[in-house]
Amino acid sequence: MRYLMAAAALTALVAGTGVAHAQSTAVEGRVDRLEREMRAVQRKVFPGGGGQTIEPQIVPESGTEVSGTPAGTPITDLTQRVAALENQVQTLTGQVEQDGYRLKQLEDGFNAYKRATDARLKALETAGSNPGASGGDPIIAPVDLGEAPARPTRPPAEDKPRPTGTRAQQVAAVEKPNSGDAAEDGYLYGFRLWSAKLYPEARRELEAVVTKYPNHRRASYSQNLLGRAYLDAGAPSLAAVAFYENYKKNPNGERAPDSLYYLAQALTKLKKPASEVCKVYTELDQLYGARLSAEMKTGVAEGRVVQKCK
């Protein structure tokens, strides 16, 4: 009887050992798999290598062992390693996702900046892309105006006249012509506003003539005077655009020579290189030398001396 009981106990012990061994093998498989995943994630997060890895967050137990508590078994140790590895994989996966999100934001920002820059450059190129009516290419290339935008369709917001009583009275004092020719009347009214130094109001009238009556002889006058209104108001960049457009789009217009002359002045105020200003003077002399007034000829000669043109 005693031998039978001992045999039964030995059989139970062997069976328990087999179960424990099976559990240990299963856990070790999980550990191996998680360790391989962790190394793969670390290679993705730290592609440069150099030992940059994240150590498993396994904190050893502290304090003395309570009396009667059995020491940790291999299965318990493996379970702790599995938990630590799972936490580590989750942390690294979260970091990868955050890095991907930040990279996407950087790419979106760069693409937006590139689109805005391309649009601005295209607008500047379009402003000087129409060939002159007289045929042939101009001597001067499209003028580099830096930050100057294309000709605005209306005065900038800061230039809009404020509805003050004094300003309103000044504008009301300027007589509006009424000859029956809308283009002629618009130009003359803009000229009178410019003479009164009411530049925003003058630009509004002059732009209306250019837009509504581009084939009228006063369109050349209006576009040139529009540039002078910008120049007199201290906006040489916008003035240069207006002058260049008048010369480029309507080289046979009556004020095309004037626009080239004042374009050189605008470029000088913008502190552009002397070579650019001298090119404008050269083209002005070659194309319109016989049509220049005595005052303009004197101004060109003085300008060439100041810029040390050859």
> What ranges do the domains of the chain cover?
167-307
User: What confidence tens digit (pLDDT) does each residue in 126-176 have?
Assistant: 544 443 434 334 445 455 544 444 444 444 444 545 545 688 999 999 999
**CA 205, 208, 210, 216 torsion-angle sign:** negative
| Whether pLDDT at 91 is above 50 | yes
Question: How many percent of the chain have pLDDT more than 90?
Answer: 45
User: What confidence tens digit (pLDDT) does each residue in 112-137 have?
Assistant: 656 665 665 565 545 444 434 343 34
User: What confidence tens digit (pLDDT) does each residue in 12-46 have?
Assistant: 444 454 555 555 566 667 767 777 777 776 666 55
pLDDT, residue 84, reads 73
User: What confidence tens digit (pLDDT) does each residue in 205-239 have?
Assistant: 999 999 999 999 999 999 999 999 999 999 999 99
- Alpha-carbon torsion, ordered 34, 39, 44, 47, to 10 deg: 170
| Whether pLDDT at 58 is above 70 | no
- Closest listed residue to residue 87, CA positions, set 41, 137, 138: 41
- Closest listed residue to residue 123, CA positions, set 148, 150, 154: 150
DSSP per-residue string spanning 161-214: PP--HHHHHHHHTSPPP-SS-HHHHHHHHHHHHHHTT-HHHHHHHHHHHHHH-T
| Amino acid (one-letter) located at 183 | A
Q: Spelled out in words, what is the top-level CATH class assigned to the domain 167-307?
A: mainly alpha
**CA 166, 171, 172, 175 torsion-angle sign:** positive
DSSP state of 139: S
- Find how far residue 35's CA is from the centre of its chain: 46
Q: Is the pTM of this model over 0.75?
A: no
